[in-house]
Amino acid sequence: MKRSFTLAAALLSLSATTAFALTEAGKRIRADIDALSSDELNGRRAGTADADRAAAYVESAFRRIGLLPAGVRGTYRQSFDFVDAVDLGPKNALATSGSAPIGRTWSVGTDYRPLAFSAAGTIEGDVVFAGYGIVAKELSYDDYQGIDVNGKIVLVLRYGPEGADPKSRFWPYVALRQKAAAARERGAKALLVATGPNTRDVSDDLVALRTDASFSDAGLVALSLKRPVAESLFGGSGTTLADAQKAVDEKGRPAPLALPKARVSAVADVTPRRSKTSNVLGLLPGADPSRNTEFVVVGAHYDHLGLGGAGSLEEKPEGKIHHGADDNASGVAGVLELARSLVPMRGVLKRSILFVAFGAEEEGTLGSLHFTKSPTVPLESVVAMVNLDMVGRLRDDRLDVHGVGTSPAWKPLLAKANEGPGLKLALHEGGFGPSDHATFFAARRPVLFLFTGNHADYHRATDTVEKINVDGLEKVLRFLAPVVTGVANGDERPAFAGPAAEKR
């Protein structure tokens, strides 16, 4: 049966399918999730008409709730362009030489592939191995220390010295675009990326072409290599790719290496396809003239994975609607219901609250990144950001709260807010993570990220509305409301605690 997009039909469906009584707030939450995860919106992938209709739904809700437009030029929208996909042209080519005087050519799509953020162009030059290509000042770690890569082609490994572990202290620095930026800033003309033979539980696959959607390319040619291509560059160096990786991993410190007989020539023939999407912003003004120019941002992304493709964990995802009821219609519904509960308090809230539904989070937190780069309110006036992403599957009353180390104000405020709901809070210090709060933390804003945990339906077509724990989401909001109002009415702004919070 096709899910309806309209609010009235969503409520009608609710009465027919829900076996227990919901509160009025619960009915609104359920209706919002049902509408946003409906078949009619086809998974609301950023850059599609379906995502635009989801944004229109949120905009209409903001208007009905009584929030003021806080986008661009008096609207609720903040539009932005991004690179949605990359097409490979016929001129792609790669040739390498190690100890052999005659170079070897490789096949695109089989042996190598341009990364989605690669610049187009032709390059040729000598090769330098720069470990994992990580520069992390906070960890006193620099894979480029002691080696000159200016005008060279840099070969780096995927992930970090502690492997592909998201709990690793290096995890905030393993993004390939970050590695490309580090190479470019040091004068490299190209970046080659390979999976190290010693990295456990990771297959030797080429990086998928559509793994990075952003505003522009990385400013240099960037290629993903299969391991044999990378190993060929070590011929005549007196060592191997495996030994070079081992030298970094065992000592936990950089071990860059010039490869004197290695040379690469390549053509990256890539054409980006650009799309447009938008953030949706609504403002609840504070009542205190001395503080209402300061803002608490409460956000959630409204986009999802559309009809499968990149990002899906389905075995055969193409053509399947990825409803994204938990990820992240639940977060948007939470933002909307929180706004409904706070609008009647507009006369007693001192600071303003900016509610934002971010676009293109699934493409790499692009909506929040665009906001922090081109904010619709002065960024220095944002006192904190609270992010809701996947808050619809509360189990055993356990709620993960990330970012508690980004301000000393958080822990006492969270403890006070939880006196009523009595949730089992799992507190996490760090402010980085794969959602929209991370861009605000990178911009040196205190952040919180609420999350009810992963599940088997994550990034699958089975993430549907009937699996949402509406009562649980209401409980999360009863916990969140005093947190947000506590920041809005606090005598002092929450102090920012920087990168030290990221060290484990």
The token duo for 482 is 């005093």
Ordered by start, the domain boundaries in the chain are: 7-84+274-498, 90-268
7-84+274-498 and 90-268 agree in CATH topology: no
Question: SS3 for 13?
Answer: helix
Burial of 492 (0-12, 13-18, 19+ CB in 10 A): exposed
Give the per-residue pLDDT at 500: 43
**437: phi then psi, degrees, rounded to nearest 5:** -65, -30
Predicted confidence pLDDT, tens digits, the chain (504 residues):
333 333 333 333 333 333 458 999 999 999 999 999 999 999 999 999 999 999 999 999 999 999 999 999 999 999 999 888 888 999 999 999 876 555 799 999 999 999 988 999 999 999 999 999 999 988 899 999 999 999 999 999 999 999 998 788 898 889 898 999 999 999 999 999 999 999 999 999 998 876 555 667 889 999 999 999 999 999 878 899 999 999 999 988 999 999 988 999 999 999 988 899 999 999 999 999 999 999 999 999 999 999 997 788 898 888 999 999 999 999 999 999 999 999 999 999 999 999 999 999 998 899 999 999 999 999 999 999 999 999 999 999 999 999 999 999 999 999 999 999 999 999 999 998 889 999 999 999 999 999 999 999 999 999 999 999 999 999 999 999 999 999 999 999 999 997 543 433
Q: How far apart are CA 429 and CA 373, in angstroms?
A: 25
Residue 113 vs residues 152, 383, 448: alpha-carbon distances, Å: 20, 43, 37
Fold classification of 90-268 is Glucose Oxidase; domain 1 (3.50.30)
Q: How far apart are CA 449 and CA 362, in angstroms?
A: 16
- Total number of residues shown for the chain: 504
Torsion of CA 45, 377, 391, 59, to 10 degrees: -50
What is the full DSSP assignment across 150-171? Answer: TTSEEEEESSBTTBS-TTSTTG
Q: 103-111 — which CB contacts under 8 Å span 24+ positions?
A: 103/263, 103/265, 104/232, 106/229, 109/206, 110/226, 111/225, 111/226, 111/228, 111/229
Contacts of 427 (CB under 8 A, 6+ apart): 401, 404, 411, 414
The token duo for 43 is 């998974």
Give the per-residue pLDDT at 9: 37
- The crossing angle, in degrees rounded to 10, of helices 24-36 and 49-65 is 160
Assigned superfamily of 7-84+274-498: Zn peptidases (3.40.630.10)
DSSP strand pairing (270-284 vs 77-88): antiparallel
Give the per-residue pLDDT at 355: 99
| Type of residue numbered 488 | A
Give the per-residue pLDDT at 67: 98
Which run of H or E residues covers position 106?
strand 104-106
Largest CA distance in the chain: 78
Give the per-residue pLDDT at 101: 55
Closest listed residue to residue 149, CA positions, set 67, 288, 27, 257: 257
